[in-house]
């Protein structure tokens, strides 16, 4: 009987193995991704629902709504990669509903407001939460996480700044995936070249700070390099800082990150300190404050150190300019650091430096209505971007199946694979992605995955410093956030193209924001804003 049972178990295990999932005798499980990479996890990490021969969701179909970046593109790509694995494990079918990023919010809200339940789960930006929470449109996930039945991951791996984007009033709604924030990328070889350092000293009378600690230092270095040529292979002049300023794209995010240290008064959160968007007592917009205006005027100056064509560039065009070695600086998301390692797209692997964003030498004091200058300005971290991750629709007929897929995407080995591959659009921010001693990751694992050692040391240190900074730009999570941002984006574009002054652009933004707030309900908006930023009066 024992022999027969062993033969039976072996046969069941063999039948359970597939093209995408292999159950090993040592308790490990190999998951084969669409790119051929094999990720190893454990049966414990997969939870008790999944096992050899088990098909807990056989006959079930779920639909995930996500932005459309292609089969091998940001955010949507990893879903395509995990689909066959989840289908083998679960017995279910996964349908991927794709839509351009510009239409994602509208398509999501149409389904949720009508209660049609077309989508079981949605890959959302964290700025959707104001609408999702106030409408009771998404399902809490704490009970799923605690059950032990589903693939195992934890909010404990997140710094507080990121955990806040996945929860509301202490309740979990979002499943770990992407970790957005912006840092500075710079040409380590060019800025540390003694020839350029000597020339900078001769022209400015100052030593070149590498990397720059302040935005004012960065502007001066950018102005110095604009029009020079450090690449003998390319006769065309190079530039200081490259931006992407096409309206309707993602340029407004960069203004948020840059302006934070100009516009926020550091200190413990209250009416005047550590606030950026609105006065948390009455929802009066702060976007037209002197700090924001000075930051936009600064951005206009910085724009002049880059190519003139960037006023019409999208995100990828700006990245490629830096990756081709044509600018000294770009500040952007984690994708850039990993794309620097892609030698098919990058010429700067091994010389791609990273640092927390510079800070401003002056900032606006909201309480006293004055400018503060300091010789020791402190950095301001940010969680700028979407931090794209999955939530479960309150109208899903199969929420357990939907969670099982989202949690499979969240387990540590899949998360590490995502962060190691720039094309996934999934950026690092978790303890197991930061190098020792700041986190749990080992340098040799990154090097084995194709990273240059010096590049990844600076990259992970920059993101750790960013997400754990004492002051972090507060995140806008109120109803209608995309509408507020759309107005800001259009006015920023008008300022960058010379159609409006910085003061006019932000004054016009503030006026329209007041109209939006009144239309949506000032008291309800104020309550949501206070909850989102943790303001208690």
pLDDT tens digits along 82-112: 999 999 999 999 999 999 988 999 999 999 9
Of 181, 332, 362, the residue nearest 261 (C-alpha): 362
Structure tokens at 436: 């020792």
More confident residue, 438 or 235: 438
pLDDT > 70: percent of the chain? 97
Q: Is the peptide bond before 437 cis (omega within 30 degrees of 0)?
A: yes
pLDDT at 231: 76
**Cα separation of 187 and 222, whole Å?**
12
Residue 406 CB neighbours (<10 A) = 30
- pLDDT tens across 242-289, in order? 999 888 888 899 999 999 999 999 988 999 999 999 999 999 999 999
**Cα separation of 482 and 505, whole Å?**
18
- H or E stretch covering 93: strand 93-99
Strands 167-168, 171-172: pairing is antiparallel
DSSP string, 155-201: GGGS-HHHHHHHEETTEE-PBS------EEEEEHHHHT-HHHHHHHH
Are 33 and 415 a contacting pair, CB within 8 Å?
no
Structure tokens at 30: 């190999």
| pLDDT tier for residue 15 given thresholds of 50, 70 and 90 | very low
- pLDDT tens across 157-205, in order? 999 999 999 999 999 999 999 999 999 999 999 999 999 999 999 999 9
| pLDDT tier for residue 10 given thresholds of 50, 70 and 90 | very low
Helix (H, G, I), strand (E, B) or coil at 366: coil
Report the alpha-carbon angle 284-279-270, nearest 5: 170
pLDDT > 90: percent of the chain? 86
The distance in angstroms from the start CA to the end CA of the chain is: 71
Beta strands of 246-385 (E only): which ranges? 327-332, 352-355, 362-365, 370-373
More confident residue, 13 or 118: 118
**Domains in the chain and their CATH numbers?**
33-174+389-425 (3.40.190.10), 183-278+289-384+471-476 (3.40.190.10)
pLDDT at 353: 98
Structure tokens at 197: 């350092």
Sign of CA dihedral 232, 234, 236, 239: negative
pLDDT at 13: 44
Which of 4-18, 44-58, 224-238, 315-329 shows the lowest mean pLDDT across its residues? 4-18
- H or E stretch covering 113: helix 101-114
Of 216, 156, 226, the residue nearest 190 (C-alpha): 226
| pLDDT tier for residue 422 given thresholds of 50, 70 and 90 | confident
| pLDDT tier for residue 16 given thresholds of 50, 70 and 90 | low
pLDDT at 7: 35
Whether 388 has a pLDDT exceeding 80, the answer reads yes
pLDDT at 3: 36
Q: Is the peptide bond before 332 cis (omega within 30 degrees of 0)?
A: no
Are 292 and 263 a contacting pair, CB within 8 Å?
yes
- pLDDT tens across 454-491, in order? 999 999 999 999 999 999 999 999 999 999 999 999 99
Residue 58 CB neighbours (<10 A) = 10
- pLDDT tens across 429-439, in order? 999 999 999 99
**Cα separation of 47 and 482, whole Å?**
36
**Cα separation of 350 and 327, whole Å?**
16
**Cα separation of 487 and 494, whole Å?**
11
Helix (H, G, I), strand (E, B) or coil at 487: helix
Whether 6 has a pLDDT exceeding 90, the answer reads no
**Cα separation of 403 and 388, whole Å?**
16
| pLDDT tier for residue 11 given thresholds of 50, 70 and 90 | very low
Whether 1 has a pLDDT exceeding 60, the answer reads no
**Cα separation of 456 and 232, whole Å?**
27
**Cα separation of 179 and 171, whole Å?**
19
Residue with tokens 């049609």: 116
Report the alpha-carbon angle 183-187-188, nearest 5: 100
Are 191 and 328 a contacting pair, CB within 8 Å?
yes
Whether 408 has a pLDDT exceeding 60, the answer reads yes
């Amino acid at each position: 009987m024992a022999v027969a049972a062993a033969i039976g178990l072996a046969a069941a295990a063999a039948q359970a193995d597939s093209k995408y999932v292999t159950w090993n005798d040592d308790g490990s499980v190999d998951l084969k991704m669409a790119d051929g990479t094999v990720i190893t996890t454990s049966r414990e990490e997969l939870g008790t629902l999944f096992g050899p021969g088990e098909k807990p969701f056989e006959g079930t179909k779920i639909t995930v709504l996500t932005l459309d970046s292609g089969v091998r593109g940001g955010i949507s790509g990893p879903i395509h990669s995990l689909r066959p694995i989840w289908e083998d494990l679960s017995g279910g079918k996964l349908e991927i509903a794709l839509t351009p990023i510009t239409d994602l919010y509208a398509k999501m809200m149409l389904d949720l407001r009508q209660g049609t339940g077309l989508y079981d789960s949605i890959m959302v930006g964290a700025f959707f939460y104001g609408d999702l929470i106030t409408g009771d449109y998404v399902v809490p996930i704490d009970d799923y996480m605690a059950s032990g039945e589903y693939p195992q991951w934890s909010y404990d791996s997140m710094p507080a700044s990121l955990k806040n984007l996945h929860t509301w009033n202490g309740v979990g709604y979002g499943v770990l995936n992407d970790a957005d924030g912006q840092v500075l990328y710079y040409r380590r070889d060019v800025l540390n070249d003694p020839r350029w350092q000597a020339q900078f000293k001769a022209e400015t009378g100052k030593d070149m700070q590498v990397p720059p600690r302040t935005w004012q230092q960065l502007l001066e270095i950018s102005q110095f390099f604009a029009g020079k040529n450090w690449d003998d292979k390319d006769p065309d002049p190079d530039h200081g800082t490259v931006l992407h300023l096409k309206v309707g794209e993602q340029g407004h995010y960069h203004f948020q990150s840059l302006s934070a240290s100009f516009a926020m008064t550091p200190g413990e959160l209250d009416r005047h300190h550590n606030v950026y968007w609105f006065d948390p007592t009455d929802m009066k917009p702060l976007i037209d404050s002197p700090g924001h205006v000075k930051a936009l005027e600064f951005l206009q100056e910085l724009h002049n150190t880059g190519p003139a064509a960037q006023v019409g560039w999208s995100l990828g065009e700006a990245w490629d300019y830096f990756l081709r070695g044509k600018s000294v600086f770009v500040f952007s998301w984690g994708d850039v650091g990993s794309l620097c390692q892609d030698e098919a797209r990058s010429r700067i692997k091994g010389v791609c430096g990273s640092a927390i964003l510079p800070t401003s030498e002056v900032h606006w004091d909201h309480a006293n209505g004055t400018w503060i200058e300091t010789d020791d300005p402190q950095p301001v971290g940010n969680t700028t971007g979407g931090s794209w991750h999955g939530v479960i629709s309150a109208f899903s007929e199969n929420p357990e199946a939907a969670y099982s897929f989202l949690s499979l995407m969240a387990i540590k080995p899949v998360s590490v694979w995502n962060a190691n591959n720039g094309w996934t659009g999934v950026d690092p921010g978790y303890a197991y992605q930061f190098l020792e001693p700041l986190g749990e990751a080992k340098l040799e694992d990154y090097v084995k995955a194709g990273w240059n050692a010096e590049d990844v040391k600076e990259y992970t240190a920059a993101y750790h410093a960013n997400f754990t900074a004492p002051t972090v730009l507060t995140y806008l999570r109120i109803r209608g956030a995309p509408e507020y941002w759309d107005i800001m984006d259009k006015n920023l574009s008008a300022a960058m193209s010379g159609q409006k002054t910085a003061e006019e652009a932000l004054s016009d933004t503030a006026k329209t924001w007041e109209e939006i707030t009144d239309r949506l309900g000032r008291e309800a908006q104020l309550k949501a804003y206070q909850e989102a930023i943790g303001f208690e009066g």
